[in-house]
Each structure stands twice: as structure tokens, then as C-alpha cells.
Amino acid sequence: MRHIGSESKSASGRQLPYTGLTCGRTAAVWAYSRKGTAYAMKNAIITNRFMLRDFQSSDIDQFIAYQTDSAFSIFHHESELGESHARRVFHLFLDWQKPTPRRNHQFAISFLNDESSLIGSCGVRTDGCAPGDAVFGVELARPYWGRYRYAQEISEALISWAFDELKLSALVADTAFDNTAVARLAESAGFIRTHADDKQWWRLKHSTWAARCVNR
């Protein structure tokens, strides 16, 4: 899986790639699982197999390694390639943790049994969006594409968290035209195509997601 997501502007105004499903039950902490069971862990979203946590400075080498993999970057624009770009994006993710309240939530994806691992990134960003909307995205490092519904489990937990914790009305995302696997993931989560330009754009309403959860 490459990603489902969208672009966001850095502080300089430059476009950055959006590095982008069980209905988790709201808990007092950020914790969701495929079967709706909550686990207690502060500032992390927990699924059956994964932890979605804040990025740490020690993640930088793993982040740059998967970002600069030529297979991973197949859908990247030329301006989004290379180690220097990956390094800038990584430090931007760390900067997004500082404001209170946070407007952009970007999580490192780790295996639950290895918190130091980094197999991808996911996030929800409200900067530049209409009130109640946020940009949603998930990406996995190339070795984990198409493996055992990893992307689906992660996406479902993040969507549930976004609607429950951030009280959003809708999530928006984009996919590359050639990335049919990610388009199927978007559809399976309930996203609806809204329009297309140089990519496909999608929208998921909170009411749609809530109905899916009730019907499961």
C-alpha cells in the first residue's frame, strides 16, 4: 500500500505529501482495537497488532529509510524525493506536536510488540480545512503493502479516534489514479469519491461512519 491521504502545506506554504477501518469504542484514553475493545495507554492508539504513537527523534533513521525506498516513492512527485525532503518532513511532524491545542496529529505506526519499530505513518490534519473537516492519511513502508489487512486495521482505528476524540464532521483524502488498492481501501471504509483533478478526492461523513458501526 502506498497511501491514502492528501497534501498539506508546510509553514513556508510548500505542499507536502500526506504520508494517506472495526469501529473502535471511545475510551478516556486514545485506544482502539478491531473488536472495539479499549486498551489503556496514554497518547497512543492501540489496535490488536499496532500502536499509533507520537513520533520520537529516534525514529528518524527508519523514517528516512522507508521514505527513500524507490518502490515506496512510486507515486511521489519529483519534489518529494530524496533524503533531504524526508528529513524536513520528519522534523515538521515533530513540530506539529508542540502547539496546544494540536491541529495536526501525525502518528508513527509501530508493531504493538515492538514499540521502537516504525513501519509507516498516519494522521489527521485540520490546518487549512473547513470547520469540522480534517485531512486523513495512512502510509505503510513497502515491505508491509498488502499484508494481512494491516492498512485496514490501522485506518479503522484512526478514523474512529478522529471522529470520537476530535469531534469531526467529515474526513477528506486523496488517492493517485493508478493506486487501485488504496482506492479499494477508501471505498471499504465508506469514503465517497467527490471529484478528480490530478488525483481522486474522497470524503467520509461522520454520519456514514457511525451508521457502519451500528450495523456491524
Average pLDDT of the segment spanning 32-54: 68
**pLDDT value at position 29?**
39
CATH class as words, domain 3-167: alpha beta
Q: What is the pLDDT of residue 184?
A: 87
The SS3 call for residue 63 is helix
Q: What is the pTM of this model?
A: 0.80
| Range 47-75 average pLDDT | 87
DSSP secondary structure code for residue 119 in this structure: -
Percentage, residues of the chain above pLDDT 90: 56
Half-sphere CA count of 147, side-chain side, radius 13 A? 12
- Classify residue 125 by its DSSP letter: E
125 near 92, Cβ under 8 Å?
no
Q: How far is CA 123 from the centre of its chain?
A: 4
What pLDDT is stored for residue 64 in this prediction?
95
Which pLDDT value is given to residue 199?
84
pLDDT above 80: residue 63? yes
Residue spans per domain, the chain: 3-167
Mean pLDDT of the chain: 80
Give the whole-angstrom CA distance, residue 198 versus residue 196. Answer: 6
For 41, counting Cβ atoms within 10 Å of its Cβ (0-12 exposed, 13-18 middle, 19+ buried), the class is middle
**Per mean pLDDT, which range of 16-20, 85-89, 93-97, 159-163 is the poorest?**
16-20
Beta-carbon contacts of residue 34 (< 8 Å; ≥ 6 apart):
22, 47, 48, 153, 156, 157
Mean pLDDT of 186-206: 92
Band the pLDDT of 147: cuts 50, 70, 90: confident
